[in-house]
Chains A and B, each alone.
Chain A
Amino acid sequence: MFVDFLITLVKILFIFGVTVGFFAPVLTWVERKQSAIMQDRIGANRADILGFTAFGLFHIIADALKMFTKEDFIPRGANKALHTLSPIVALIPALITFAVIPFGGVYTLFGKEVNLVISDLDVGLLFIFAVASIATYGYVIAGWSSNNNWSLLGSIRVAAQMISYEVTMGLTIIGILMVYGTMRLTEIGAIQEDFWRWGIFLQPVGFFLFFAASIAENKRIPFDAPEAESELVAGYFTEYSGLKFGMFFMAEFVEMVTIGAIVTLLFFGGWNLPFVTMDGILSMFDFLGETGANIIALLIHVGVFFAKVCFFIFFQMIVRWTLPRFRYDQIMKLGWKILLPLSLANILITGAVILALE
């Protein structure tokens, strides 16, 4: 009992450390540096300690200091309680999602089965979907409570965009469900030990639909109409400063990690290497004993998983600095008239193929 509790605690701390402690701050630097390289600028190199700039890595510290010390401003006429609540509502769902995302398989360490997922829910896939829809409220309330017309417009855009793209996302998930026959994310990961059963081969169209919809849900360019700085100042978080703004900022980066993790898990084999099975790794490192071989397998799998996640985060950043922002009506048109029919057709074809193969 106590050991189980300890293992769960270690897993939670690991996930927190990786997302909030590592990815969120480092990604702010990566995004600056990458945009600088893509736009042929020198970029983030001003913050220095005694003349050392460390490729601009000190900007992370400068950012944190600035956020902590800035005045926490609440505009006159704003709803104070909701104004404070909304960044929390925006950030927490992004973190909770990791409770059901497995970042490795099942390993036998010192005679104990360790499943590298915090909570192995029977409805894991739907859980992610449910939690993502809760995050919407953070953004919607933010604009409403700020007592600012631009904020309000941004929030209305968030709500409309979420409603539109959640439909596509839900329908894409049905395609995945039909192929794998389970909603348990650990099972979906385990099935993909076979390279030819990776989601990208079974649901190629589903991958593109899901990826587009999830970028839209995260409100990043090209879908960042809710915070369009050329139209709405900064959209729903116009009236936020200091650490509250920082939480919105962090939520976006954590969500990028979440999207990377989900795409990896559903479409790119999760923690599995192509053509390498768990048994293969175990027999190769047999000379280290059972626990030793399992530890090696664990390290390889977790490393592979996060390497894939990093790739998809990088991919999202490339998209961000390549495409211009879509106009608002274009976003709606894309969502309802192109992605939605495509996702319906995807379900139909998936069903027909499954029926034909039986």
Chain B
Amino acid sequence: MELLIFYPLAGFCVLMGLGVIISSSPINSALSLIAMMMGLAGVFVLQQAHFLAILQIIVYAGAIMVLFMFVIMLLNLKSAEEDTWSIRPQNTYVSVLTGFLALGALYKIACVISQAKLDSPAAVPDDFGTVVRVGTTLFTDFVLPFEVASILLLAAMVGAVVLAKNKID
């Protein structure tokens, strides 16, 4: 029963992921990315992680992607689609390099997964994925990484504002 939902959902995610890199117009790429994130949220729900699924939609599909769309529209990439979006020759080397890096990372992940024991899934507590559980874990066991990450994000944000401001002045 679970697989019956999982495979169409996973297939949808992969399809949309392909859509992100294949489609030639930026807006279609962005929309595919949003659809893929919704699919991923569905996968999270299948794993009983409702809180995580909702956060996925709020933060990524809801907030960050709206910003993406906003920027795409503001620059109006539609009119100059050809030259802004196609691969420029000077970018080819970078593209090939990142492609190989990504392939290497994927290979490493595949190695780790193939070595992991999948026959005996760890027992999942009843309240797994609930708000209370995630919150308690985040603010007890992982409080230091959590706070460090938030400070890092704040620093990045302030840095971006400072850089942009210098350019305007």
Binding site for B on A (CB under 8 A): 82, 121-123, 126-127, 129-130, 133-134, 136-137, 140-141, 143-144, 152, 155-156, 159-160, 162-163, 166, 183
Q: Is there an interface contact between B73 and A156, defined as CB atoms closer than 8 Å?
A: yes
Q: A133-B58, A133-B61, A134-B57 are in contact. Are A123 and B73 (CB under 8 A)?
A: no
Can you list the 5 inter-chain pairs with the closest CB atoms, starting with the nearest?
A133-B62, A130-B57, A159-B70, A126-B54, A130-B58
Q: Is there an interface contact between B73 and A130, defined as CB atoms closer than 8 Å?
A: no
- How does the 8 Å CB contact mask read for B115-153 relative to A, with 1 for contact and 0 for none? 000000000000000110000000000000000000000
Judged by DSSP, the binding face of B is helix
Q: Is there an interface contact between A162 and B54, defined as CB atoms closer than 8 Å?
A: no
A21, B31: Cα distance in complex, Å: 31
Task: Kindly state whether residue B69 has any CB partner on chain A within 8 Å.
Answer: yes
Between A and B, 11 residue pairs with Cβ closer than 8 Å are: A122-B50, A126-B54, A130-B58, A130-B61, A130-B62, A134-B57, A140-B66, A141-B31, A144-B27, A159-B73, A163-B67
Q: Which residues of A contact B51 (CB under 8 A)?
A: 122-123, 126
Q: A129-B58, A133-B57, A155-B73 are in contact. Are A122 and B130 (CB under 8 A)?
A: yes
Binding site for A on B (CB under 8 A): 27, 31, 34, 38, 50-51, 54-55, 57-58, 61-63, 66-67, 69-70, 73-74, 76, 78, 130-131
Q: Which residues of B contact A162 (CB under 8 A)?
A: 66
Q: A141-B31, A166-B63 are in contact. Are A159 and B69 (CB under 8 A)?
A: yes
Judged by DSSP, the binding face of A is helix
A82, B51: Cα distance in complex, Å: 30
Q: A123-B54, A130-B57, A130-B62 are in contact. Are A152 and B76 (CB under 8 A)?
A: yes
Q: Which residues of A contact B63 (CB under 8 A)?
A: 133, 163, 166
Q: A122-B51, A123-B51 are in contact. Are A133 and B73 (CB under 8 A)?
A: no
Q: Which residues of A contact B78 (CB under 8 A)?
A: 144
Q: Is there an interface contact between A183 and B131, defined as CB atoms closer than 8 Å?
A: yes
Q: Is there an interface contact between A163 and B70, defined as CB atoms closer than 8 Å?
A: yes
Q: Which residues of A contact B31 (CB under 8 A)?
A: 82, 137, 141
Q: Which residues of B contact A127 (CB under 8 A)?
A: 54
- Of B34, B38, B74, B131, the contact of A123 (CB 8 Å cutoff): B131
Most buried by A among B38, B51, B54, B67: B54
